[in-house]
Structure 1
Amino acid sequence: TGVVFQLSNGSEDREFRALVSEVGATDLCTMLGDPAGEHIATVEHLMATVFGLGIDNVLIEIDGHEVPILDGSAMAFVEAID
């Protein structure tokens, strides 16, 4: 399936594929989906992590509209996945 983000907001789940065609904005962060509607923001550090670890097939479940930035690097994600 590739890299897929699943937004779970209680009543309905929405999937966003990590594809160039899904990028809605890149002003302050990389956003998948519609900036004025349903979206997942700040995906770049997590995307760097899955790429660096060679992961190309994953479902990432998230319950908010933004991936936590943590310390600003991919290291916390690498440690959590390892």
Structure 2
Amino acid sequence: LPADADTGVVFQLSNGSEVREFRALVSEVGATDLCTMLGDPAGEHIATVEHLMATVFGLGIDNVIIEIDGREVPILDGSAMA
């Protein structure tokens, strides 16, 4: 979703009734072992954001809200072809 100026990149994790936001900031990185994870590895988090972040950066998108309904960005599902 397009976002207002100075919003940056924000992931919105929805579990149906509740929405949690994770900003794409260094201070939000919880782990980098096998992927880049935003949030708390033992709690609420979104994993595998690195490829989507690279694409957003490469396209010059700097203010966007990314809605996601799971704890990991989908991979190998063909969504990049859209």
- Normalising by the smaller structure, the TM-score range is 0.7 to 0.9
| SS of match in other structure, 1:6 | strand
- Structure 1 residue 60, shift from structure 2 partner: 0.1
1:11 to partner: Cα distance: 1.7
Distance 1:37 1:50 in 2: 26
What secondary structure sits across from 1:59 in the alignment?
strand
Gaps of 5+ in 2: 1-6
Residues 20 and 73 of structure 1, relative CA distance in 2, 3 Å threshold = farther
Q: Which residue of 2 aligns with 1:64?
A: 70
Normalising to structure 1: TM-score of the pair?
A: 0.85
1:9 and 1:45, CA in 2 relative to 1: closer, same or farther beyond 3 A?
A: same
**Residue in 2 aligned with 1:53?**
59
Residue 71 of structure 1 deviates from its aligned partner by 6.9
Structure with the greater relative contact order (CA < 8 A, sep ≥ 6): 1 or 2?
Answer: 2
Cα pair 1:46 1:74 within 8 Å, conserved = no
**TM-score scaled by length of structure 2:** 0.85
Aligned mates of 1:71, 1:64 — CA distance in 2: 14
Q: CA, structure 1 residues 53+65, in 2 after alignment: closer, same or farther (shift >3 Å)? A: same
SS, match of residue 36 in structure 1: coil
Deviation of 1:73 after TM superposition, in Å, equals 11
Matched residue, 1:10: 16
The CA deviation string for residues 18-77 of structure 1, in whole angstroms up to 9 with x for no partner, is 0000000000000000000000000001000000000000000000000012279977xx
> What root-mean-square deviation, in Å, do the aligned CA atoms of Structure 1 and Structure 2 show?
2.0
